[in-house]
Amino acid sequence: RRSPSKKLATSAAVMSFWGAKVAPGATAEADASAGELLHLSQACLDPAAASGASSRVLVEQNGNSFAIAVLKEGGQECCALDLFIDLKEATLKVEGKAAVHLTGYFESDDMDEDKDEDEAPAKAKASPKVEAKSSPKAEVKTTPKASPK
């Protein structure tokens, strides 16, 4: 059985930070090792962007282009992302008037498989049944009517 600190160190070894400042019209440069995916976490306009400048971040794959973030100075300047990209098959490109900072991390393609093996299946607990109790005010009380004599 591994100690928690060793497990953490093992997990940290398969993930590494990545960041790139991408100029308008340029493509992000990244050196992905075989079997690594880029987890793209955030896109932010360069802090030096001109007033009102805007840019789009695109993923290009198989001849298609997909906008994943549209950023504008003075408006939405940052966009949280949660994308896994295989840089052997896709590229990240910036179009517009301002540079964009892209950040994320590289993760081993088989990391999810390792994670599944480490986790024990959780047992589902049945919640106890609670019976609804009626309010005394809500109860209908019937009293027998007195019959006339």
Residue type for position 97: K
pTM passes above 0.85: no
The tens digit of pLDDT for each residue in 48-97 reads: 999 999 999 999 999 999 999 999 999 999 999 999 999 989 999 999 99
Q: Rounded distance, CA 103 to CA 27, Å?
A: 14
Look at 7 and 25; give whichever has higher pLDDT.
25
Confidence of residue 144 (pLDDT cuts 50, 70, 90): low
